[in-house]
C-alpha cells in the first residue's frame, strides 16, 4: 500500500491508522503548498487533487477519509479498529462523519481556504470567523458524545478517533484553540499513543 499525504493534513489520520495496523506501507508526500496536487503527475494518479489517497496493492486507488478508514479496518480485523457493539459502532461512525464532513468540511475549510467561500478579500475575515464558530460548535457537540468514554466507540480506539484526532490537532496545534474538556482529554490520549507519536515524528511535526 502507498499513502499519498501532506504533513499535518487530514491524511495524518489515515497515516495513524496504518501505523496502528502495523503492516508494511509506503508514503508519498504531496506538496500542497506548491500546488503539487494540481499538477499532472499527481492528477494522473488522483484527479480529485487532494489527500489522503491510498493506493492498494492491486494498484487501485481509494479516496475520501471515511472510505479509506473503513476499508483498512475491514481489511485488517485483527487490529480491532471497529467497535464490536452495534450501537457503539453506529455512534462512532456518526461522529467520524461529523468530524470529517462538518468540523473539517464546513468549519476548517472556511478557516484555511476562505477564498473558496468568497472571492472578496474584504469578506474573507468574516468567512474565517464563521468557520471558527462552526468548528467550536462541532467540538462542543462531540464533547457531549465522548463524555464518560475514553474513545468515541467506548473504551477502545477506532477509526473514528483518527478522524477526531486530526481536527483536534488542527485546533490545538495550528490555531491554538482551546478544546472543551472531553475533547482535550481525548486529544492528549491520542497524542500518547505510540502510533501517533511515530507519525508526528515521520511527518516532521514534532
> What does the domain layout of the chain look like in residue ranges?
2-80, 86-193
Query: Cα(30)–Cα(15) distance, rounded to whole angstroms?
Result: 14
User: In 30-152, which ranges are E strands?
Assistant: 53-55, 61-63
C-alpha count within 13 angstroms, C-beta hemisphere, residue 82: 18
pLDDT in tens, 50-82: 999 999 999 999 999 999 999 999 999 999 999
At residue 121, the pLDDT reads 87
Instruction: Supply the mean pLDDT for the chain.
Output: 97
Burial (Cβ within 10 Å: 0-12, 13-18, ≥19) of residue 71: middle
What is the C-alpha R_g of the chain?
Answer: 17
User: In the chain, which ranges are E strands?
Assistant: 2-5, 26-29, 53-55, 61-63
Q: Which fold has domain 86-193?
A: Glutathione S-transferase Yfyf (Class Pi); Chain A, domain 2 (1.20.1050)
Sheet harboring 2-5: ordered strands across? 26-29, 2-5, 53-55, 61-63
Are 112 and 127 a contacting pair, CB within 8 Å?
Answer: no
At residue 43, the pLDDT reads 97
56's grid cell: 492498494
At residue 88, the pLDDT reads 97
**Residues in the chain, pLDDT under 50:** none
Report, at the CATH architecture level, how domain 2-80 is classified: 3-Layer(aba) Sandwich (3.40)
At residue 28, the pLDDT reads 98
185's grid cell: 482529554
At residue 15, the pLDDT reads 98
| C-beta neighbour count of 122 within 10 angstroms | 7
At residue 122, the pLDDT reads 87
Amino acid at each position: 500500500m502507498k499513502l499519498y499525504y501532506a504533513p499535518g493534513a487530514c491524511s495524518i489520520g489515515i497515516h495513524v491508522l496504518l501505523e496502528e495496523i502495523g503492516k508494511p506501507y509506503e508514503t508519498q508526500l504531496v506538496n500542497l503548498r506548491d500546488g503539487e496536487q494540481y499538477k499532472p503527475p499527481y492528477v494522473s494518479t488522483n484527479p480529485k487533487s487532494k489527500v489522503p489517497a491510498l493506493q492498494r496493492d492491486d494498484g487501485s486507488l481509494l479516496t475520501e477519509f471515511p472510505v479509506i478508514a473503513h476499508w483498512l479496518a475491514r481489511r485488517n480485523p485483527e487490529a480491532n479498529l471497529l467497535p464490536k457493539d452495534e450501537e457503539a459502532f453506529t455512534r462512532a461512525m456518526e461522529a467520524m462523519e461529523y468530524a470529517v464532513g462538518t468540523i473539517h468540511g464546513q468549519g476548517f475549510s472556511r478557516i484555511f481556504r476562505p477564498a473558496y467561500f468568497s472571492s472578496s478579500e474584504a469578506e474573507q475575515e468574516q468567512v474565517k470567523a464563521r468557520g471558527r464558530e462552526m468548528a467550536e460548535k462541532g467540538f462542543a457537540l462531540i464533547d457531549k458524545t465522548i463524555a464518560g468514554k475514553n474513545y468515541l466507540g467506548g473504551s477502545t480506539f477506532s477509526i473514528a478517533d483518527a478522524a477526531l484526532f486530526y481536527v483536534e490537532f488542527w485546533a490545538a496545534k495550528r490555531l491554538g484553540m482551546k478544546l472543551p474538556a472531553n475533547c482535550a482529554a481525548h486529544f492528549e490520549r491520542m497524542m500518547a499513543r505510540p502510533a501517533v507519536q511515530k507519525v508526528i515524528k515521520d511527518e516532521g511535526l514534532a
